[in-house]
Amino acid sequence: MENKHGKYHMKRYVLLGALLALPLTAFAATPSPADCQAYAKRVEMDAGSTAGGAGRGALRGAAFGAIVGGDSKSTGRGAALGMVVGGARSSSAQSSAYKNAYDSCMAGRVQF
């Protein structure tokens, strides 16, 4: 049989061990920069491709050129302009998605 003091000391040691292990578990859960870079790359790839944005831009530009200009020359110019704008816009969106994902990960707001 244990006396009252033995149980008290056992509880104390268990509590002390748990408190000492707490910072170690929090440190282990913090993602490394390499983990955050891999996560941000996945988010960037999910955001779409620059070629897809350029293709969608070309289609929209061609439609706009056909409606406004009414001839094939206007349609071609609209497609060219739409391709450039759509590609640049998509590239910017990908870059922004990567930066936001990386920053969120490094701040600890992402759980793996």
Output 2 or 46, whichever has higher pLDDT: 46
pLDDT of residue 1: 45
pLDDT of residue 5: 54
C-alpha to C-alpha distance for 105 and 112, rounded to whole angstroms: 9
Cβ-contact 88, 111 below 8 angstroms: no
What mean pLDDT is predicted for residues 52-56?
93
What mean pLDDT is predicted for residues 14-28?
61
DSSP 30: S
Output 38 or 21, whichever has higher pLDDT: 38
Domain ranges of the chain: 1-30, 31-112
pLDDT of residue 26: 52
Question: 24-33, 34-43, 48-57, 65-74: lowest mean pLDDT where?
Answer: 24-33
Type of residue found at 59: L
**Ordered DSSP codes for 57-91:** HHHHHHHHHHHHH-SHHHHHHHHHHHHHHHHHHHH
**What percent of the chain stands above pLDDT 70?**
73
